[in-house]
Amino acid sequence: MTPSHVSRSIDGEWTLRRLLTEVVGSGPKTADDMSYEQAREAFDRVLAGDPDPATLGAFLLANRWKESTPEELAGFVDSMRERSVRTSAPDADPVDCGANYDGKRKTAVLGVASGLVAAATGTPVVAHSGPKLPAKHGTTYGDVLAELGVSTDLDPAESAAMVDAVGFGFYAQSRFNPLVHARREVRESVGVRTSINTVETLANPANASAHFGSFYHLSYAERIANAIRESEKLPFERVVMAQGMEGYDDVRPGTTRVAEWSGGEVADDEIETADFGADFDREDLRVEDLPADSARVTEDVLAGERDDAFADAVALNAGFRIYAGGDADSVGEGVSQARDALADGSAAARLDALRAFDA
């Protein structure tokens, strides 16, 4: 799907300046919420480059202070899906993993290894990210894949082909979400996370029916699930989210909350990762050179050369992806499948296939 033509002039009465002065800009305690329609028009203007940078920055900060509602996030994401996102669906129905685009700075990025392990069990996985962003400017999926020698500058159709050939695929924001990508300069100027950081993780370039993500507070997971429910453009039917490390979709070890949504109310539960053989502290996953060390961990774990916290963490995170994709009845069952794929060499074969993929 190619996004609609974007004019620099947006029809409608709610300019960002008017929304600032009349709705969202009066402070975190007195600001009003936008309607779905107002939010969608506002994001149309953001994507079109309609507002001047100062007004755009003020609008983004005002929404950060106020906290965007599910209806507002749905309006934002539907505008993005209509005007910017170029989807290309593989034949497979993968689990969508759009971890926070500002990345990680302390602990290894495990999503590439975990996605390949899940792929080896028969659960296809899609990851998407862009170059470094504020506030963390950390390491992302794309950085780890580049260190592994995997081509990441793919057209969405090539990314979809990667999913079907490998079981794991990567979509680059610059290729599938160009108008959001073009707002990077003003986001750097603002310097903090804004609602754009939230909605870009929901872009869903593969039109997947299941999404796996992370949260710090349960209220955030509820907001994401309710935004997906309010959206007119997102095809997600199932959402699984767990408390993650550094805001990323690498599951936090220890006592961890999990939230699930499949069309009704959000259900949440609490698990002990030690019950799945993942008995370690997050400090055990610290690395120095995040892109290079995360790539090295990926290679070593998939080759069966590690039997440590990293191997346990990869199995845990793969288990969550398998469960989110509906291919296991529990996270524990998913972890068991993941360990089998690591033991029999099929996960290592998926890394070989990924490196050999030629668009």
Query: Mean pLDDT, to the nearest integer, of 183-208?
Result: 95
Task: Using the predicted structure, report yes or no on whether residue 7 has a pLDDT greater than 50.
Answer: no
Task: Using the predicted structure, report yes or no on whether residue 6 has a pLDDT greater than 50.
Answer: no
Residue 68 CB: number of other CB atoms within 10 A?
A: 22
Query: Mean pLDDT, to the nearest integer, of 59-71?
Result: 94
Rounded CA separation 44/202 (Å): 17
Beta-strand pair 125-129/267-272: unpaired
Provide φ and ψ at 107, rounded to 5°. Answer: -110, 155
Task: Using the predicted structure, report yes or no on whether residue 5 has a pLDDT greater than 50.
Answer: no
CB proximity list for 354: less than 8 A, separation 6 or greater: 116, 148, 150, 162, 166, 168
pLDDT number for residue 27: 81
Task: Using the predicted structure, report yes or no on whether residue 255 has a pLDDT greater than 80.
Answer: yes
User: What 3 state SS string does 214-280 have?
Assistant: EECCHHHHHHHHHHHHHCCCCCCCEEEEEEEHHHCCCECCCEEEEEEECCCCCEEEEEEHHHHCCCC
Give 329: exposed, middle or buried? Use CB within 10 Å, 0-12, 13-18, 19+. Answer: exposed
Rounded CA separation 44/60 (Å): 14
Query: Mean pLDDT, to the nearest integer, of 214-224?
Result: 96
Residues 97-111 pLDDT 10s: 999 999 999 999 999
Token code pair at residue 80 = 């993005």
Residues 68-81 pLDDT 10s: 999 999 999 999 99
Q: How far is CA 4 from CA 28, 85, 104, 124, 179, in A?
A: 34, 9, 33, 29, 11
pLDDT mean across residues, the chain: 95
pLDDT number for residue 243: 98
CA atoms within 13 A on the CB side of 39: 27
Give 279: exposed, middle or buried? Use CB within 10 Å, 0-12, 13-18, 19+. Answer: middle
Band (pLDDT 50/70/90 cuts) for residue 9 is low
CA atoms within 13 A on the CB side of 203: 35
Band (pLDDT 50/70/90 cuts) for residue 359 is confident
Residues 197-213 pLDDT 10s: 999 999 999 999 999 99
Residue 200 CB: number of other CB atoms within 10 A?
A: 25
Query: Mean pLDDT, to the nearest integer, of 302-316?
Result: 97
Residue positions counted in the chain = 359
Considering just the CA atoms, what is the radius of gyration of the chain in Å? Answer: 20
CB proximity list for 224: less than 8 A, separation 6 or greater: 73, 198, 202, 213, 215, 239, 241
Unique residue bearing structure tokens 């524990």? 332
pLDDT number for residue 121: 98
Residue 57 CB: number of other CB atoms within 10 A?
A: 17
3-class SS of residue 106: coil
Class of CATH domain 95-356: alpha beta
Q: Where are the alpha helices (DSSP H) in 91-212?
A: 111-121, 141-147, 156-166, 173-176, 178-181, 184-190, 195-200
Percent of the chain at pLDDT exceeding 90: 92
Task: Using the predicted structure, report yes or no on whether residue 142 has a pLDDT greater than 60.
Answer: yes
Residues 267-306 pLDDT 10s: 999 999 999 999 999 999 999 999 999 999 999 999 999 9
Domain boundaries for CATH 3.40.1030.10 within the chain:
95-356
